[in-house]
């Protein structure tokens, strides 16, 4: 029991590394927020573009989206961070992480929003069109509000899954939680900082999961 506490919850190490872990928490929050906003927006925009059924554009979207969904995000992070400088493109590590995770989240979000758009019954389109709405008005006022509500649960799950990948920042030197924790661990030779990092992740993401559950019930409406 004592050995367990010594390994994972050593008090003096907690005190020593709390500031750097907290710094990591803020970096993680920053990247996560930026990724969630830009990723979901881009995903929604792509799904809307796809609903115009322009064949060439849609093929392009589908290919890119499928590639982004198939590749492990770590692979993309490494290729962008270590590969692009060789062709003269230098992007700061923070931006690389944001960009890659945004694209990955957008890819998954596009598929989910698109499925949401498709799941709105044809009759909704017809009712809207029959009252004089054009395609864009129908999409904006009738279809998207329903599609987005339908997709709250899968979008929340996916968003949490992708934002957790901010931990990949460790391998390219973004000073987020895991990076702070692992460097503290190697300095101290003790797993306590890693445990602190784990707790920080839990504290950070539990509210997000809870928010998702709240939105799920808040946006549910009784189906006719």
Residues at the interface with other proteins (CB under 8 A): 121, 123-124, 126-134, 137, 141-142, 145-146, 149, 221-224
> Considering the complex, what minimum distance in angstroms separates the CB of residue 42 from other proteins?
24
Q: How far is the CB of 56 from other proteins (least distance, A)?
A: 23
82 or 141, CB closer to other proteins?
141
Q: CB of 135: closest distance to other proteins in angstroms?
A: 9
Measured between alpha carbons, how far is 201 from 195 in angstroms, rounded to an integer? 10
Rounded-to-5 percentages of helix, strand, coil across the chain:
85, 0, 15
Q: How far is the CB of 166 from other proteins (least distance, A)?
A: 33
Q: Closer to other proteins by CB, 9 or 219: give it.
A: 219
User: Token pair of 27, please?
Assistant: 């970096």
Q: Is the CB of residue 23 less than 8 Å from the CB of residue 175?
A: yes
Contacts with 93 (C-beta within 8 Å, 6 or more apart), sequence order: 81, 169, 172, 173, 174
Cα dihedral value 139, 142, 146, 151, nearest 10: 10
Whole-number minimum distance, CB 43 to other proteins, in Å?
21
Residue 90 or 131: the one with the smaller Cβ distance to other proteins is: 131
Q: Based on CB atoms, which residue is closest to other proteins, 126 or 216?
A: 126
Shortest distance (Å) from residue 47 CB to other proteins: 18
CA–CA separation, 180 and 173 (whole Å): 10
CB nearer other proteins, residue 52 or residue 141: 141
When the beta carbons of 72 and 134 are compared against other proteins, the nearer one is 134
| Cβ density class 137-176: b for 16+ within 10 Å, e for less | ebbeebbbebbbbbbbebbbebbbebbbbbbbbbbbebbb
Spatial separation of the C-alpha atoms in residues 188 and 17, rounded to whole Å = 10
């Amino acid at each position: 029991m004592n050995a367990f506490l010594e390994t994972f919850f050593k008090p003096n190490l907690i005190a020593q590394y709390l500031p750097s872990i907290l710094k990591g928490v803020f970096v993680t929050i920053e990247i996560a927020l930026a990724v969630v906003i830009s990723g979901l927006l881009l995903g929604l925009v792509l799904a809307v573009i796809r609903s115009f059924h322009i064949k060439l554009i849609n093929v392009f979207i589908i290919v890119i989206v499928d590639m982004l969904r198939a590749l492990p995000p770590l692979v993309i992070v490494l290729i962008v961070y270590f590969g692009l400088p060789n062709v003269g493109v230098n992007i700061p590590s923070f931006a690389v992480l944001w960009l890659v995770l945004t694209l990955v989240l957008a890819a998954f979000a596009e598929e989910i929003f698109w499925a949401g758009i498709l799941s709105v019954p044809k009759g909704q389109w017809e009712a809207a069109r029959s009252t004089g709405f054009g395609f864009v008005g129908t999409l904006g006022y009738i279809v998207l509000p329903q599609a987005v509500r339908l997709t709250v649960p899968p979008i929340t799950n996916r968003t949490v899954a992708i934002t957790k990948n901010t931990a990949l920042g460790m391998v390219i030197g973004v000073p987020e939680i895991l990076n702070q924790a692992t460097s503290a661990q190697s300095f101290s030779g003790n797993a306590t900082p890693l445990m602190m990092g784990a707790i920080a992740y839990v504290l950070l993401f539990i509210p997000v999961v809870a928010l998702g559950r709240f939105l799920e019930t808040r946006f549910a409406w009784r189906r006719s």
